[in-house]
Structure 1
Amino acid sequence: MDNGHTTTGAGNTDLEKAKTHIIVEIIEYMANAVVIKTIIRKSTGNISIMSFDSGEGLTEKTSPFDTFAQIIEGRAEIVIDNVSNYLESGQGIIIPAHSPNFIRPNGRFKMIQTVIKSGYE
């Protein structure tokens, strides 16, 4: 799982607005790493694209906000409250606020993660 090889993408800024993007091509795989590139960062939430090399995952965490995870390439196992959810490209899941969750390695994959912070004031 997360062996401390998490990399944040250079140029961690919003994508060019009013322009079409091929989302799966915005981020590349890096050997033995999880790469994270935030494409929108606002006080009300953010959207990040992540790539996971084979054997890489994320350790258990709990967020105070709802999080939407969508697989855009490959397959992933997302464990929420000790329940495994197997997702394939094109599938997504809402991780409820305050629910312990982690991503178990299941081959290379890419995903979009959207965190919504508004509504929690």
Structure 2
Amino acid sequence: MVNIMKNIDFAHVFNLKEQISYQQGQVVSMTIAQIPAVNITLFSLDTGEGISTHTTAGDAMVQVLDGEAEITIGDEVLTVKEGETVIMPSDVPHSLEARRRFKMLLTVVKKPAE
């Protein structure tokens, strides 16, 4: 049997925000799953760090696990905090910046191949 998910213990209760650490002045990522239709990645960003404007080929859901970030989707700027979730639609430019140290679970569900 081949496991699709990685870097996380199976059949074990855990807290997602404890699975990734902050690094001063850095963006840290840990892939949990990456298959053609879905990517699931944990991120931690130090204060002031960010992910520059880009688009994705699928809808991207950000679940905030810790801290606070500013997320820009198209022309709209949103502030998201621990416990909140936002979905960024595919093909719409988006970016984010950590207002305070920030951890998120990012799930991208890609469009089916045509």
* TM score, norm. by length of structure 2: 0.89
Which residue pairs with 1:5 in the alignment? none
* Counterpart contact for 1:45–1:118, Cα < 8 Å: no
Contact 1:14 1:41 in 2 (8 A): no
* 2:15 is the counterpart of 1:46: no
Kept in 2: contact 1:34–1:50 (CA 8 A): yes
Q: Which runs of 5+ in 2 are unaligned?
A: none
Provide the C-alpha distance between the structure 2 equivalents of 1:13 and 1:71, rounded to a whole number of angstroms: 21
How many residue pairs get aligned? The number is 110
Q: Is residue 60 of structure 2 the alignment partner of residue 67 of structure 1?
A: yes
1:7 paired residue number: none
What's the TM-score, normalizing by structure 1?
0.84
Runs (4+) of structure 1 moved beyond 6 Å?
Answer: none
Q: Report sequence identity in percent.
A: 32
Cα drift, residue 111 of structure 1? 0.5
- Whose strand fraction is larger, Structure 1's or Structure 2's? 2
